[in-house]
């Protein structure tokens, strides 16, 4: 019965994941693959507005590189860390590890946990992209290089006030993209991926040194900051677009890490086998006092051994 409930829950989660992925795919296709389809709000502008008359520059970091930083790197790190954590477990725990059944599929607990982490992380990435794209389409803020891309026909435009007509003669697709400045997609996606990675490193990486984890976390977040700031240098976004993207990505990363996966609540556990009377996790004085007791000591040791064998390794 418990196994059936587990399978139903997994199927429901899979359905949610597929639904979000379909929405993500539809928005990307209709909004970014063609000049038609979904179109952002056509915000009016002034011909003499120098803030949106910046030159067009080549992107420092393209979408492919940004997606690799934001998705592939965290997933690879999750795989490496989970595998290393599994290998460093004690021999006793590793030998007693039981497999978990998901209908016809049987997996080791650490593999199931790793897959769950990656799927939920990817789910959060899709949500970040969806919210970012919907915001772009709704707000329709003009990019700093809009007028350069637009190439407005001044003979048709009334440049004495705000231009409300469609007077752009530039490439229709480029004009469409130039109307989607707020918020920055590079900033929101990169901040989501890198901040989630920083949270995961803090909760999962086992390091004896004091500075290794902070160093890795600072590198991850700094990469996101560099990606966002490069968009300002490329005349693709205003500073407020970047900040809004950072905030959006950070909020979703926090929600996924703390509210959905509960990384820190799961990782912070009591020492293993603390209820065992001769556990090595107990202080020496406690172990000595227990060993000094004569009444029922042999029976208690046998019970401890039995309980030890029944214990399952901790998974998240």
Q: What positions carry a catalytic annotation? A: 186, 237
Torsions phi, psi for 205 (to 5 deg): -75, 130
Positive or negative torsion for Cα 115, 117, 120, 123: negative
Distances (CA, A) of 163 to 2, 154, 168, 170: 64, 10, 11, 16
Q: SS3 of 132, please?
A: helix
Instruction: Show the DSSP H helices in 57-184 as ranges.
Output: 63-67, 73-87, 91-95, 109-139, 146-150, 172-177
In sequence order, what are the residues at sequence separation of 6 or more whose Cβ sits closer than 8 angstroms to the Cβ of residue 223?
Answer: 69, 190, 194
Closest CA to 189 of 139, 235, 232, 223: 223
């Amino acid at each position: 019965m418990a196994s059936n409930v587990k399978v139903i829950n997994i199927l429901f989660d899979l359905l949610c994941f597929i639904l979000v992925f379909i929405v993500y795919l539809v928005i990307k296709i209709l909004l970014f693959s063609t000049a038609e389809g979904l179109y952002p709000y056509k915000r009016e502008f002034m011909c003499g507005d120098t803030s949106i008359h910046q030159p067009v520059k080549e992107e420092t970091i393209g979408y492919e590189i940004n997606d690799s930083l934001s998705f592939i790197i965290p997933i690879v790190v999750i795989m490496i860390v989970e595998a290393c954590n599994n290998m460093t477990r004690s021999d006793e725990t590793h030998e007693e590890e039981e497999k978990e059944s998901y209908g016809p599929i049987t997996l080791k607990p650490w593999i199931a946990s790793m897959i769950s982490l990656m799927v939920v992380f990817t789910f959060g990435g899709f949500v970040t992209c969806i919210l970012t794209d919907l915001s772009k389409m709704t707000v329709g803020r003009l990019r700093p290089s809009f007028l350069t891309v637009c190439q407005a026909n001044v003979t048709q435009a009334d440049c004495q006030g705000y231009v409300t007509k469609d007077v752009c003669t530039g490439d229709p697709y480029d004009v469409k993209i130039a109307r989607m400045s707020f918020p920055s997609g590079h900033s929101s996606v990169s901040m989501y991926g890198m901040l989630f990675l920083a949270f995961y490193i803090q909760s999962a990486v086992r390091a004896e040194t004091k500075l290794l984890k902070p160093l890795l976390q600072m590198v991850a977040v700094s990469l996101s900051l560099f990606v966002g700031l490069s968009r300002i240098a490329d005349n693709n976004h205003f500073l407020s677009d970047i900040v809004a993207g950072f905030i959006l990505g950070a909020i979703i990363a926090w929600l996924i890490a703390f509210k959905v996966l509960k990384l820190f609540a799961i990782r912070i556990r009591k020492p293993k086998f603390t209820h065992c009377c001769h556990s090595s996790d107990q202080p020496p004085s406690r172990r000595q006092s227990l060993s000094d007791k004569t009444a029922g000591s042999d029976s208690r040791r046998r019970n401890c051994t039995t309980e030890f064998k029944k214990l399952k390794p901790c998974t998240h």
